[in-house]
Amino acid sequence: MNNHQIKQQFRQKVRRFYWVNITMAVIIAAALWLTKQWGIYQQAFIPIVVVFFLWIFNVDKVYRCPACKKSPRGREGLIYLPKQCGHCGVELR
């Protein structure tokens, strides 16, 4: 896989990463609002929290280096839009 293909694949993964994050944030916000409106907030709170944690702990599966398939991580977690992969050193942007 050449450098241009890696950059293109990473760009697609970044778009998918942001799309998943925006979609999940809207779904969770809508679920919280609707459960409050319907009066079932207490019963739905735990399932909504479970979905939130599943999203947070699995979102890095979407955001990976195309060359080595590892998540670009730093000391504080995911590195957003890194210039190169911290694991294999390939240019991503």
Distance between CA atoms of residues 2 and 52, nearest Å: 37
Closest among 89, 67, 70 to 9, alpha carbons compared:
67
Give percent above pLDDT 90 in the chain: 2
Mean of per-residue pLDDT scores for the chain: 84
* pTM for this predicted structure: 0.71
Q: What local confidence, expressed as pLDDT, does residue 64 receive?
A: 83
For the chain, the distance separating the N- and C-terminal CA atoms, rounded to the nearest angstrom, is 15
* Between 10 and 42, residue with greater pLDDT: 10
Token pair for 24: 């999940």
Amino acid 82: pLDDT: 81
pLDDT band at 78 (very low <50, low <70, confident <90, very high): low
Q: Using one digit for the tens of pLDDT, what is the confidence trace for 16-61?
A: 888 988 998 898 888 888 888 888 877 888 888 898 888 888 877 7
